[in-house]
Amino acid sequence: MALDDRKKVILQAIVDDYVTTCEPVGSKALIDRHNFTLSSATLRNEMADLEKLGYIEKPHTSAGRIPSDKGYREYVDSLMHIDTISTAEKKDIESRIATGVGEVTDLLKNATNTLSTKTGYVSLAMTPVLKKSYLTQLKLLMIEPGRALVVVVLSAGVVKDKLVRIPNFLTDVQVNEISRAVEKQLSGMPLDEITLITVASSVKNTSIPDSFLNQVLYEAYTAIKQADKLDVYLEGKNRILSIPEFNDVGRAKGLLDTLSDDGMVAGYVNELGTEEITEGDDSYMIRIGQEIALEGLEDCSFITTTYKVGDKISGNIGIIGPKRMEYSKVISQINFVRKTLNDEIKKING
């Protein structure tokens, strides 16, 4: 017994219906809503087959069927057809993303915001993967005696800074000298090759006494390492509470607790490969239910895609919603957001 064409159509209909109603779909209801040339009895037989094949399941004996993870998988892989986005909506998305932007992270914030509002789900973006990136600039800026701002600029266009304490007696001029020396040595160096030793060696030939330098260099080093940290932007977490699946406070809390742990989310997204599905201009990866190895996300689906900064560097944006998600709509939206994001990043990074 295989998944013939008719079964596919039926599965598709089941997923579609379940996605919109959030209620197990039964044979009669299916017939009512679609004009199949089938009786409910035949449909029942087909549904029994689909169940044996593992594509759908029953919450309990006398209920309708809901798609299993495998069913959703089949659906997203070969059954659904991706929506097209109206010009009006494209304009809207573009303007939302391009508004008030100074740097890449602004774009990311705008993008998550847009995605979350448009889809009604939780959206996320991660700063570009920095392991593959290198340092382009490092500046020490004297704020007042004893305090300086370390500004780190990475090849991905990410700018981070950190306020640090320095010895009180260091002068403006000395700080500048250190700044220039360190930058000269380190700029262009991949982040993972930068160690406390590389940093220290950069100031060997300056006129500043070693004793003054240690603290400054250590702070510079930690600032660089801090810039190496992946940042996660999550938007719309509260929307979880509007989703029927998470009507139960305990369940909702489980999910929200996981999502609130930025490190956990970042780590997971980062470990996901990049085996995205590519369809024409679109390109995305979907994780469904149990496929997501994060506590509390068993009933969720996770759609991610990749934006680019230059040729080699990339970051992820994504949507987290219930398995029962409007995949075709969400995918079209996340893809257009990705495209817009890429364009805007090019504008910024020239």
Q: Which stretch binds DNA (CB under 7 A): 63-71, 92-100, 109-117, 132-140?
A: 63-71
Q: Which is nearer to its own copies, 40 or 258 (CB)?
A: 258
Of 284, 268, 271, residue with least CA distance to 327 = 284
Q: Which is nearer to its own copies, 37 or 168 (CB)?
A: 168
Q: Which is nearer to DNA, 51 or 89 (CB)?
A: 51
Helix axes 87-98, 327-349, angle to 10 degrees: 40
**What is the C-alpha end-to-end distance of the chain, expressed in Å?**
56
Which residues within the stretch 11-50 sit at the binding site for DNA (CB under 7 A)? 24-29, 37-42, 44-45, 47-48
Beta strands of 241-329 (E only): which ranges?
A: 277-279, 282-288, 300-309, 313-322
146 contact choice in DNA, its own copies, none (CB below 5 to 8 Å, kind-dependent): its own copies
Q: Which is nearer to its own copies, 249 or 277 (CB)?
A: 249
Helix count and strand count (H, E) for the chain: 12, 11
Residues 6+ apart with CB under 8 A from 225: 194
52 contact choice in DNA, its own copies, none (CB below 5 to 8 Å, kind-dependent): none
Q: Which is nearer to its own copies, 136 or 202 (CB)?
A: 136
38 contact choice in its own copies, DNA, none (CB below 5 to 8 Å, kind-dependent): DNA
Q: Please report how close the Cβ of residue 346 comes to its own copies at its closest, in angstroms.
A: 14
Q: Which stretch binds DNA (CB under 7 A): 61-69, 133-141, 192-200, 263-271?
A: 61-69
- Is the torsion defined by CA of 90, 91, 96, 101 positive or negative? positive
Please calculate the CA angle 113-311-265 and round it to the nearest 5 degrees.
Answer: 40
153 contact choice in its own copies, DNA, none (CB below 5 to 8 Å, kind-dependent): its own copies
Contact 329, 119 (CB under 8 A): yes
Q: How many residues bind DNA (CB under 7 A)?
A: 24
What residues form DSSP beta bridges with 282? 279
Q: What is the DSSP letter of 129?
A: -
- Positions that interact with its own copies (CB under 8 A): 102-103, 136-137, 139, 141, 143-144, 146, 149, 151, 153, 159, 161-165, 237-238, 241-242, 246-249, 252-253, 256-257, 260, 350
Q: How far apart are CA 237 and CA 121, in angstroms?
A: 8
H-helix segments, 153-209? 172-186, 196-201
343 contact choice in its own copies, DNA, none (CB below 5 to 8 Å, kind-dependent): none
Of 314, 289, 6, 274, residue with least CA distance to 131 = 314
- In angstroms and rounded to an integer, the radius of gyration of the C-alpha atoms of the chain is 26
Q: Which is nearer to its own copies, 163 or 277 (CB)?
A: 163
61 is a contact residue toward DNA (CB under 7 A): yes
Q: Which is nearer to its own copies, 77 or 103 (CB)?
A: 103
- SS3 for 5-18, per residue? HHHHHHHHHHHHHH
| Sequence letter at residue 213 | L
Q: Please report how close the Cβ of residue 162 comes to DNA at its closest, in angstroms.
A: 53
29 contact choice in DNA, its own copies, none (CB below 5 to 8 Å, kind-dependent): DNA
- Kindly list the residues in this chain that would bind DNA in the complex (CB under 7 A): 24-29, 37-42, 44-45, 47-48, 51, 58, 60-65
